[in-house]
Each structure stands twice: as C-alpha cells, then as structure tokens.
Amino acid sequence: MTVETRVSDPRGAAKTSSRQEGPGGIWDSVKKTVVVIGSGILFLAAFSNSLTWHLQRFWGASGDFWQNLWTKLFVMFEGHDATLFYLGTMLLPTLAFWGSNGLLLLVDTTGKPSFIARYRIQVDKNSPVDPAKLSHAVRNVIFNQVFISMPMVVAVYYLMSLRGNPCGPELPTFHWALMELAMFSILEEIMFYYSHRLFHSPSLYKHFHKQHHEWTAPIGIVSIYAHPLEHVISNMLPVVLGPVILGSHLSTTSMWYCLAFISTTISHCGYHLPFLPSPEFHDFHHLKFNQCFGVFGVLDRLHGTDTKFRQTKQYERHTLLTSLTPLNESVPDTPKKGQ
C-alpha cells in the first residue's frame, strides 16, 4: 500500500517520507526489518537442503581434499595457532585487497587497458586519477590497515580463543559454513547501515565521515580511506563481529574477510564491469551523499533512503552486466533540455 501511495499521490509520498524521518518512522522501519530478516532466516533454514543440494555434491566430492590440505597446515603450525590465525586473517585478506586494487589502479592511473575504461560509471571523472590525491589516500589506507585493522584482528583472536580453538583440526561442514556466511552478511548489513547513517549526521560527518566523501567519484582503494574512528566502527566492526559471535573456524573467517575486502573494493571501484556485482548503488551514494547507506540495499528500501536512487538511470543500470556493452551505452543518460 505504501508503494502505491507514493506513486499515485505525490503529496502522500511527501507525507510518508516525512514520517519515515521522524522517530516513529524509524522505529516502524526497524520492526519491518526484523520481520523481513527473520522471515529470510526461517526460509533459509526450511529450504537449505534443496537450495544447497548441487553445491553440497561438489563439497562432498572435494571435501577430503580441503580437509587433507587443512590437516597439513594444522600439523605444520601445531603449537603456533596464533601465527596460523594471523596468516589467514591478515595476510590472505591483505593480498586479496591489494591484488584486486593493484589491477584497478593500473587502469585508474594509465587508462589502460582502454576497454576497461569504457565501463567507468562517472565517465568524466578520474581520467586519470589525481596522483597527489591518490598518494594521500594510499598512505591513509596503509595506516588504517597496519595500526587499526591488525590490532583489531589480534583482539579478535583472543576473544575467539575464549570460546575454543578457532584453528581446530576439523573444518566446518558445508551447510554450517554457508549458514555462517549468510549470518555474517545479515549482521554486516545491519551494522554498516546504521553506523554509516550515523556518521552522516551533521556533527559526525563534519569531523569524521567527510574525509571518505572527498572522493565523489570513488576508486577501489578508497573503500577503506577513512578517519580511524570510522574505520573501527563502520568498516571493521560490521565485518569482524560475526565470526566472534559465532565462534567461527579460521577457514570461514578468512574466507569472509577476503570476500568483504573484494566486495567493498567492487562497490567503490568506479567501473561497472561484466559479470561482477553492480557498484552503481554505492557509487550513487558517493555522488549524492544522502542516499544508499547500506550494503545490499535491504535497509535502504525499508527506511526509504533509496527513493531518489530508484528514480534515476543509475538504478536502471544497477544490475548484473551479462554482455560486453557498457551499461552507460545501452542505458544512456536522459538528454538534457536543449541538447
């Protein structure tokens, strides 16, 4: 009913938007969020066998290989669990981050290979990227990784060790690992949306979050270009809290950290590349500031913080690109009056 009111009656839409911004509207959205997410969890639990049947067959066929590989690592690092944990949660995610961003930086700084530059979302920006601005961002990113992320991961290890050995000899089952990744994603969506939206309040934005928004046309590396306080609360906590709460195995935790790094890199990369998740949603956030606060867009839809985005060409392009034709060509911007 709410959607119909917004479409058919602009005055009603304005009233709805006003209610959403008030305390009652926020509380109503929170209740809706609980219902939607709770329903999703129940659905996943009820149909997990049928949804994961094909993947389970693959896992069953290759499970011995992964378990044997893990057993060799476990024996190799026997008595040095902390070292093994740090390699899996610091080294591998860092390689995933800089490996993916190294390729993107090559395009950002040289414009080559030129066929990738065709997929740039904001066509007139970062061609090439400003070297001084990039250098400043790189220094900040390295600072955040070394002096913020690494100490937090050390703390995570000791917290997880209180519940057991996160580097135990047995790998988790396929279904449990899949369920954990789903729970991590839900928790990240909730924590990132609300912490990110909090950082957009005027007082916090001015002193902390404005730094991240210096890049109105983002590139991959600025995914963790942020004030240290924001990096702790909005970048790190939504990612590390899930494995701590669930007492996850190192294998699942390491996979999750790598996926989180690659996902946020894609969201900020500035290119809508074929067969990769669409970054249009978060790119629009950097462009307009007051829209699209979340990761998946679920809470933005419930809170109405994507209404302007859904009226744009960027929203039409917010889909998986399954051809080699850039979406800014197949879904071009509406010509301005007089052109």
Mean pLDDT per block of 10 residues along the chain (339 residues) reads: 39 39 49 61 56 54 77 94 97 97 94 90 90 97 97 97 93 92 95 97 95 97 97 98 97 97 97 95 95 94 94 94 93 73
In a domain, 287, yes or no: no
In a domain, 146, yes or no: yes
For residues 318, 321, 324, 327, the Cα torsion angle rounded to the nearest 10 degrees is -10
What is the model's pTM? Answer: 0.83
pLDDT of residue 20: 38
Q: How far apart are CA 97 and CA 56, in angstroms?
A: 28
Q: Which residues contact 266 (CB under 8 A, 6 or more apart)?
A: 100, 220, 276, 277, 279
CA distances from 123 to 34, 41, 217, 329 (A): 39, 40, 10, 11
In a domain, 308, yes or no: no
Q: Into how many domains does the chain fold?
A: 1
Closest CA to 288 of 192, 198, 203, 218: 218
Q: Are 258 and 93 in contact (CB under 8 A)?
A: yes
What is the maximum alpha-carbon separation in the chain?
73
Cis omega before residue 113 (within 30°)? Answer: yes
Domain span including residue 119: 63-274
Phi (first) and psi of residue 318, to 5 degrees: -80, 75
Q: Are 246 and 180 in contact (CB under 8 A)?
A: yes
In a domain, 175, yes or no: yes
Q: Are 302 and 288 in contact (CB under 8 A)?
A: no
Q: How far apart are CA 326 and CA 309, in angstroms?
A: 20
| Axis-axis angle for helices 174-199, 23-51 (nearest 10) | 160
pLDDT of residue 177: 93
In a domain, 265, yes or no: yes
pLDDT of residue 45: 57
- Return the DSSP state at 129: -
- Within 13 Å, how many C-alpha atoms sit on residue 260's CB side? 31
Q: How far is CA 142 from the centre of its chain?
A: 19
Cis omega before residue 202 (within 30°)? Answer: no
Q: How far apart are CA 309 and CA 314, in angstroms?
A: 7
In a domain, 36, yes or no: no
Q: How far apart are CA 332 and CA 314, in angstroms?
A: 10
Place of tokens 């100490």: 151
In a domain, 165, yes or no: yes
Q: Are 287 and 302 in contact (CB under 8 A)?
A: no
Q: Are 208 and 227 in contact (CB under 8 A)?
A: yes
pLDDT of residue 149: 97
Place of tokens 């057991």: 164
In a domain, 297, yes or no: no
pLDDT of residue 265: 97
